[in-house]
């Protein structure tokens, strides 16, 4: 029995060591590991509080407030920090004199130090939690648990705002790239040949244009 316990203990240590090694490999592939951590951490905290908060507190208001705080921290982090550093995109809104809202989209053309791992972590971290909150919403409707729907609606609204903003940023970057390609090909005489059309088509597919 003692030998068996030692064997199982060794297996557990090996598995934990493997997880740590994989996490280390991922971190080494990131140029902005701290930004990536907070890009994921606030989202994960909000979801875990929603799922398991009732284990530690029976007060609905406490759980609701903690979730909203995590969601607000996440919204600010994604909008102002992680998007700018990890994918070179930024969006914001300005109120005009007539009361209408003017949406602004910014794309960094060069000097982007992010790796493909940074970009992947950003988009996965942006899209996946919204899908999870949507599933929570469907589950709450089927369980007739309407008291949680307000929290889920807040989570979807904040996640959706960042998703729409960054998708439009990406499309804006694609439009600028297409305009630049057309200008270059027009000056070099490639606009009418097969290679030029293939380049335009590839750029359009890459950016959803």
**pLDDT, tens only, 130-161:** 999 999 999 988 888 788 899 999 999 999 99
Question: What pLDDT was estimated at residue 5?
Answer: 43
CB contact set of 25 (below 8 Å; sequence gap of 6+): none
Question: What pLDDT was estimated at residue 66?
Answer: 95
Please give the structure tokens belonging to residue 116: 């493909």
Q: Whole-angstrom Cα distance, residue 12 to residue 188?
A: 62
What is the average pLDDT across 180-190?
49
Q: Whole-angstrom Cα distance, residue 23 to residue 204?
A: 35
Q: What is the pLDDT of residues 88-110, one digit of tens each?
A: 888 887 888 777 778 788 877 66
Q: Whole-angstrom Cα distance, residue 103 to residue 39?
A: 23
Which conformational region is residue 107 in: left (phi greater than 0), alpha (psi within -120 to 50 degrees), or beta?
beta
CB contact set of 203 (below 8 Å; sequence gap of 6+): 174, 177, 178, 181, 209
CB contact set of 103 (below 8 Å; sequence gap of 6+): 91, 92, 93, 165, 168
Question: What pLDDT was estimated at residue 191?
Answer: 47
Mean pLDDT, rounded, of the chain = 76
pLDDT above 90 as % of the chain: 35
Q: Whole-angstrom Cα distance, residue 90 to residue 78?
A: 9
Question: What pLDDT was estimated at residue 181?
Answer: 42
Question: What pLDDT was estimated at residue 186?
Answer: 53
93 versus 168: the higher-pLDDT residue is 168
Residue 176, Cβ neighbours under 10 Å: how many?
13
**Tokens 């979807």 identify what position?**
156
What is the average pLDDT across 107-114?
71
205 versus 49: the higher-pLDDT residue is 49
CB contact set of 199 (below 8 Å; sequence gap of 6+): 181, 185, 190
**Tokens 């007539």 identify what position?**
98
What is the average pLDDT across 151-175?
86
Query: Residue 12 above 80 pLDDT?
Result: no
Question: What pLDDT was estimated at residue 29?
Answer: 67
Binned at pLDDT 50, 70 and 90, residue 173 comes out as low
What is the average pLDDT across 71-82?
94
């Amino acid at each position: 029995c003692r030998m068996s316990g030692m064997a199982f203990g060794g297996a557990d240590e090996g598995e934990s060591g493997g997880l740590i090694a994989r996490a280390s490999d991922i971190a080494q592939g990131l140029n902005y590991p701290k930004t990536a951590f907070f890009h994921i951490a606030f989202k994960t905290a909000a979801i875990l509080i929603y799922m398991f908060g009732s284990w530690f507190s029976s007060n609905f208001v406490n759980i609701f407030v903690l979730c909203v705080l995590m969601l607000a921290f996440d919204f600010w982090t994604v909008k102002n920090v992680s998007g700018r550093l990890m994918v070179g995109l930024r969006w914001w809104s300005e109120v005009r004199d007539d009361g209408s809202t003017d949406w602004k989209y910014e794309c960094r053309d060069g000097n982007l130090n992010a790796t493909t791992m940074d970009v992947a972590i950003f988009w996965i971290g942006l899209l996946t939690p919204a899908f999870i909150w949507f599933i929570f919403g469907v589950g709450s409707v089927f369980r007739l648990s309407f008291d949680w729907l307000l929290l889920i609606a807040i989570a979807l609204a904040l996640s959706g705002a960042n998703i729409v903003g960054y998708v439009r940023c990406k499309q804006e970057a694609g439009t600028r790239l297409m305009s630049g390609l057309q200008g270059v090909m027009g000056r070099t005489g490639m606009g009418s040949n097969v290679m030029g059309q293939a380049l335009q088509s590839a750029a359009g597919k890459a950016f959803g244009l």
